[in-house]
Structure 1
Amino acid sequence: MGDAGPQKVKRSILERLPGAFPIATVPKSVDVDAVSSTLIEALPSLSHDVLLDDAIWRDSFGLTGTMRTFYTKEHVIQNWAKLVQGHGAADFSLIKGSTRVVEISSSTAWIEAAFRFTTTESPATLCSGFLSIVSTGEAGTWKIWLIRTILENLTDHGDVDHLEPIAQQTQTGSSRLGQEPIYFDVVVVGGGQSGLATGGRLQALGVSHVVLDKNTQVGDAWGNRYESARLHTVREYSHLPFERTFGPEYDEYLGKDALSKGHREWAQKYGINIWQSTTLEQGPWDEASNTYILAINRDGIMSTISTKHVVFATGAGSQNPRMPQLPDKEMFHGTILHSADYRSAEGRQGEAGIVVGSANTGQSESITQLLASMLNKLGHDIADDMYEAGMSSVTMVQRSRTFVLPVEYIADRYHALYNARRPTELSDRMQFSGPTSINRLMAAHAFHAMARAEPERWEALERAGFRVDPYGDIQEAINIRLGGHYIDVGTSAKISKGLIKMKSGPIPIKYTETGLLFDDGSKVRADVIVWATGFNGNLRHDVEKIMGNTIAAKCEDCFGLNEEGEVLGAYKPMAQKGIWYLGGAIGHARYYSRFIALSIKADTTGQPLPVYLENQATLPE
């Protein structure tokens, strides 16, 4: 047989998404307000003349009723014209004081301006947006590169971003058991940051709802985690909706107890209707009543409630532990834990520990795939905790290269965007409204330059046996793999110094009496083995388990990206009416909960947001 030639490697969705930085500058003498106002005035009847050929428009519920990204001038014009006319979009105007120049390099800069507009058709809404405007090089000629549009509120139906504290702080969650039948417009499953944010948004809009939480008190979603658990993002990024939940009296990087306290006080302040010690057991769809009939267990008492909307806010990637099943487990004389059950290494001074790092990629249970991209912050945190507790040796097991992102890299970017001078609501719109492909370029431009400036940091890790990737893709880590990276808050230095040992490459294949045996024949001794092998983060599995195959079949997988670069399933309506997913970091919970609440509010008024699914993008392989 002849040589078939080199095999074509299929590129990932992220690699195939259109988008590139413009080659342009902004003269210091330009009147940025005048340029911005002129192009904003052109938006009602957008023409080819004012768009770059590679223009991109991303809409967050403003005109599409979901999240869509449209690429190229022709595609933007086609869909923009149809939706602006169909929604009666009008009153486009510059938001005073919003214009600024964004300069990426000496050859890449643009004007950014915020604008507002309204729609009048089914339902009437208030919206906002951003334009990114580029000089074409011709004298006085400016064109639109990026358009971002965002749903702000439903006209005359409250403010999703504002909720007054209750007059008198009381225990959250009213008891209505025994008053059959119980009906809520919305049932939110999960009382962590995603569930609290959703409950607060719904309350701000006057939508009847209840939050079901399996824990005994608000805040336990964080309070019950391992002792050294803390956020690796700055305090100003970590608030719940409506206020700055954590004042300057809190540490810059919030620990689990501070988060637990802040969430509990926030829920009490706003009187969030949350039922503790409550689990959702079953939730079939009832055709006769056009509702979901939910069987719940509250403090051991079974009851039934009905609803038209169920928000699964249990947190993608944090519910169902994934534990490899290795042979000869009964031979091991020590302690075996999944990271979900780890609390601290206190009392284990002098013992030896192994941490098998975490991977949140794929759904396979094979040991190879579970370990394919390990050592995220959880594995590092546990290893660090073991070392600080005085264990005699700590070994981390690593299968393949790990993206390490030093915390100071992201701290600078977060402090510039999330700070006491700027409202969190505005920061969120700037952070989350952009096209994925451009967000990816922005992150790589900043982080990779920083990484190139300190090669010794990475060489020291390699010498210690840690296989590091300093130039990883944060968009892939967040939106596709749900982890597989480490935000370095100090553990990397301990690895570089040999204080935490590395076992990189070989795969553990069985237990021994004293530890683990690897596929290269080597052994590592341990008194305690912690499997930080992640969780099944696909909320569709939760829907299937609780509501059955028929309903789950109409729901999307949760996380990953579609051909437009939009997250699968999460934050938006799906084919199965009334089922919603919300998960991710605190910023995701805070921002995207507003769109779920607004969509549900519109449905309760009898004027649901029209969901525009036409002209879906297809990308070349």
Structure 2
Amino acid sequence: MATTLTGGNPHIVQLPTTPPSSGGCDPRAIVQQWFNALQAQLSQPDSIDLKYLFHAESWWRDMLALDWDMRTLHTSAEIQNFLRKCQAQVQLSGFKLQDQGKWQPKVEQVVDGLSWVSSMFFFETAVGKGSGMIRLTQGADECWRAYAVYTSLQEMTGAEEPIGKRRAAGTTESMPGGLASGTWIERRERQKEFLDSEPTVLVVGAGQAGLNIGARLQSLGLSCLIVDKHERVGDNWRKRYRTLVTHDPAEFTHMAYLPFPQNWPQFTPKDKLGDWFEAYASILELNVWVKTSVASAEYNDATAEWKVNVTRGDGSSRTLRPRHVVWCTGHSGEARIPSFPNQESFQGTVYHGSQHTDASDSDVRGKKVIVVGTGNSGHDIAQNYYENGADVTMLQRSGTYVITAEKGVFMMHEGMHEDGGPPTEECDIVSESLPFPVQFALGVHNTKRFAAAEKETLDGLRKAGFQLDFGVDGAGIARAYMTRGGGYYIDVGCSQLIIDGKIKVKHSPRGITGFGPRELCLEDGSTLPADIVVLATGYDNMRTTVRKVLGDKVADRCQDVWDLDNEGELRGMWRPSGHPGFYYFGGNLALCRVYSKFLAFQIKAVETGLSTGNRQY
């Protein structure tokens, strides 16, 4: 049974093969026996021996249950050494199997040649309670051993979230100081302005990242101020191009604590989402200062405290002294804008896709429009220009992965984040429970399945000259997003326009050499007539924004963001950044919901003395 890292590309693994299922097994008995044996080993931390419990090529992904960081451990030897090192302090114990719902112990036929017994489980540690997933597979000796284990901290003892039966009473008498300290609204006005205290955490940016992490922090009892440069909460979506609609379905994109209503549209228009963000901030009592920008920031290593100067909309300034700064300016926040020879002599219009509002802002009928780039934004902008009468050509340098919102996207969420599916909290645990390299390996099989369902669309694109790329190892969208942050298009209508020849495609693998007065010049010697050129060329690393706003001293201590580190976890994001007291936070709505809990726990652990919050990269 082999699961190996192969050369050439990092984190490409071969899934194991398992014996044909003999049937008639008792999944609950198999999993319970395994946990009984694990608990026996954990009771003797210094001599833990996992050779009968794990395959040689096994995985353990941990979200803060064993270490105050996100870790992926590969091979039984590495897992054994890690447990020997941490178990005496962590005290992992009290394993209990899921006894209801979809993720009770069961046999799963995962892909051809691979089946496993899986179950959700619950556990305790010295600092709280957690949830996880176990996948057991049979080897040639027919013994059941762990292929993949996931542990995640879900609750910190002494800092339980005030939800359900623990919700606050809400009466004036139950609030600290009683009526003498004011009514709820009087307290809120002082809290929002931080007239009596400093925020423990300063969050920069009030999009899905800032709002989710702000809600999580406040539920853990940490004072938090969110600042945003826009006029209103939600403007980071409202001010995007006019036709933008989310490409992920509603059940996948809920926010922490407050899911969308059941009559919410499947895909959310940008302005509607912006209004939801504004309501969310109010309902969850988040402290947000809009029209506020960070002017400067310095960190004092001796006091573990920031000095942050902010400028507010009325021209006033304020110096804040938080212990933590969470940078939520957007994974796609800083536009990557290339320049080309003779661009200044071009007599048409050139702009980056981030500056696009709507093609109807001017009369573009009959105009020659070149969209450089074939990701989500490039397609949406090309479609917008076509629908307003322009003659549109998309310039494609390399292949793009295409999946349709109509079929493939819903296939991705089958049995998980979908209408009538299991609770979101359980789906979140399961969806993050496999290490990214294993997720990518499974993605190879799923990508083939999606392609078969979308064959007509993909064949039509190929015939139209659009080049497809199914990604490294053929792993499709998940790997493209987690390693590149792009390189794909979720089709909401533009593909058919390409297939029908209504939007043209020009393939130029060697790119652009420059501009002429009325044309774009390509490396192959050809030219494209152009009145308008839109550079849908993507965005820079978030570290670029940090350097631009906070300067080199801070940015030099941070690491770059995104792509996988040596272990297979996402680099820099949702975890220590390299700079003490500074964290990057971003991603789509679902990832911000899931990982906001873990980042909030990390900050709480620092504040309670359980962690230093630092990790050397």
TM range (shorter): 0.7 to 0.9
Q: Which residue of 1 aligns with 2:433?
A: 433
Picking from 393, 396, 399, the partner of 1:398 is 396
Q: Which residue of 2 aligns with 1:468?
A: 468
SS at match of 1:62: coil
1:332-382 deviation line (CA, Å, top 9, x unaligned): 33332211111111143413243433xxxxxxxxxxxxxxxx411110011
1:337 paired to 2:351: yes
Picking from 238, 242, 250, the partner of 1:235 is 250
1:197-233 deviation line (CA, Å, top 9, x unaligned): 0000011111011011111111111111101112211
C-alpha change, 1:106 and 1:322, in structure 2 (3 Å) is: closer
Alpha-carbon distance, 1:329 to partner:
3.3
C-alpha change, 1:194 and 1:577, in structure 2 (3 Å) is: same
Mapped to 2, the partners of 1:397 and 1:264 lie a distance apart of 37
C-alpha change, 1:508 and 1:174, in structure 2 (3 Å) is: farther
Mapped to 1, the partners of 2:524 and 2:606 lie a distance apart of 59
1:101 paired to 2:101: no
1:29 paired to 2:24: yes
1:252-274 deviation line (CA, Å, top 9, x unaligned): 12121221122122111111111
Q: Which has the higher contact order (CA 8 A, sep 6+)?
A: 1
Q: Which residue of 2 aligns with 1:58?
A: 61
Q: Aligned letter for 2:124?
A: T
SS at match of 1:284: strand
Q: Which residue of 1 aligns with 2:177?
A: none
Structure 1: stretches of 5+ with no match in the other structure: 1-8, 358-373, 617-621
Between 1:603-612 and 1:274-283, the stretch displaced more is: 603-612
Q: Which residue of 2 aligns with 1:369?
A: none
Q: Report how many aligned residue pairs link the two structures.
A: 580
C-alpha change, 1:557 and 1:609, in structure 2 (3 Å) is: same
C-alpha change, 1:590 and 1:294, in structure 2 (3 Å) is: same
SS at match of 2:78: helix
Picking from 558, 568, 585, the partner of 2:588 is 585
C-alpha change, 1:487 and 1:171, in structure 2 (3 Å) is: farther
Mapped to 2, the partners of 1:475 and 1:459 lie a distance apart of 22
Q: Contact 2:581–2:613 at 8 Å: present in 1 too?
A: no
Q: Which residue of 2 aligns with 1:110?
A: 116
Mapped to 1, the partners of 2:74 and 2:270 lie a distance apart of 41
Mapped to 2, the partners of 1:165 and 1:234 lie a distance apart of 32
Mapped to 2, the partners of 1:29 and 1:177 lie a distance apart of 60
C-alpha change, 1:146 and 1:302, in structure 2 (3 Å) is: same
1:224 paired to 2:221: no
Mapped to 1, the partners of 2:297 and 2:20 lie a distance apart of 56
Mapped to 2, the partners of 1:480 and 1:203 lie a distance apart of 31
SS at match of 2:558: coil
Mapped to 2, the partners of 1:533 and 1:546 lie a distance apart of 22
Where do residues 130-279 of structure 1 align in structure 2 (5 Å cutoff)? Answer: 130-136=133-139, 138=141, 141-159=143-161, 174=189, 183-244=198-259, 246-279=260-293
C-alpha change, 1:556 and 1:114, in structure 2 (3 Å) is: same
SS at match of 1:416: coil
1:552 paired to 2:548: no
SS at match of 1:14: coil
TM-score of the superposition, structure 2-length normalised?
0.87
C-alpha change, 1:165 and 1:465, in structure 2 (3 Å) is: farther
C-alpha change, 1:454 and 1:181, in structure 2 (3 Å) is: closer
What is the percentage of aligned positions where both structures have the same residue?
28
Alpha-carbon distance, 1:171 to partner:
12
Q: Which residue of 1 aligns with 2:180?
A: none
TM-align CA RMSD: 2.8
Alpha-carbon distance, 1:62 to partner:
0.9
SS at match of 1:280: strand
Mapped to 1, the partners of 2:250 and 2:581 lie a distance apart of 33
Alpha-carbon distance, 1:19 to partner:
5.2
Q: Which residue of 2 aligns with 1:492?
A: 495
Q: Which residue of 2 aligns with 1:421?
A: 421
Q: Which residue of 2 aligns with 1:283?
A: 297
Picking from 519, 532, 555, the partner of 1:528 is 532
1:354 paired to 2:369: yes
SS at match of 2:11: helix
C-alpha change, 1:48 and 1:208, in structure 2 (3 Å) is: same
Q: Contact 1:99–1:113 at 8 Å: present in 2 too?
A: yes
Mapped to 2, the partners of 1:414 and 1:160 lie a distance apart of 30
1:513 paired to 2:533: no
Alpha-carbon distance, 1:325 to partner:
1.5
1:13 paired to 2:13: no
Mapped to 2, the partners of 1:19 and 1:208 lie a distance apart of 46
1:466-509 deviation line (CA, Å, top 9, x unaligned): 11124453343112211011122221121111110111115333
1:501-523 deviation line (CA, Å, top 9, x unaligned): 11111533333332322233322
Mapped to 2, the partners of 1:201 and 1:271 lie a distance apart of 12
Q: Contact 1:188–1:212 at 8 Å: present in 2 too?
A: yes
1:380 paired to 2:379: yes
TM-score of the superposition, structure 1-length normalised?
0.87
C-alpha change, 1:95 and 1:499, in structure 2 (3 Å) is: same
C-alpha change, 1:160 and 1:543, in structure 2 (3 Å) is: farther
